Amino acid sequence: MDRLWTPWRMEYLTSEKPADCVLCRSLTGEDVANHVVHRGAHSFIILNLYPYNNGHIMVVPNRHVASLELLSPDELLSLMQMVNLGLAALRNSMSPEGFNIGVNLGKAAGAGIDAHVHVHIVPRWQGDTNFMPILADTRVIPESLPDTRLRLARAVQAVLGANSEEEADIDEDRRV
């Protein structure tokens, strides 16, 4: 029998989960260490630490709320604009053939972080599913999180540079 070792997952599986919100913690600190791809006035894009596929990102409002209807109109608009930005960056840098986009509201709906609403964007390719998740309970992710973060941060900058001056309020030192 062949084995595929994923020792980095054991820390997550056996560790005590923090009492504070991991997404709120990502609002402060260094983008590279927190896997933040891009920050906006009301929301940000971050890599999923335990991705379903390479390039799995989450779009998160800056304000800690549990559901979409608790967001202000400006926050909701920002969230959806950030989803579009994430889609464009993924298309331009990874050429996926499709996407799964979704919001899990509440534990019963599968939310791993149910107190801070976020939108998942999972890039998909024909044939990207295989026997590994079913037989080995393991996903194969071909690129490291730091490499994916850098690739997507550069793609976001390229999209913003091509479309407008939207990134003018972003701190230059924190972007890449």
- The single residue of 38, 42, 56, 118 carrying the catalytic annotation is 118
Specify the 3-state DSSP secondary structure of 52. coil
DSSP secondary structure of 49-101:
SS-SSTT-EEEEESS--SSGGGS-HHHHHHHHHHHHHHHHHHHHHH--SEEEE
**Does the annotation count 64 as an active-site position?**
no
60 alpha-carbon distance from chain centroid:
8
- Spatial neighbors of 77 by CB under 8 A, at least 6 apart, are none
Cα 150 versus chain centre, distance: 13
* Eight-class DSSP state of 21: -
Nearest-angstrom CA–CA distance, 94 and 56: 11
CA 171 to CA 176: how far, in whole Å? 10
Q: Looking at the annotation, which residues are catalytic? A: 118
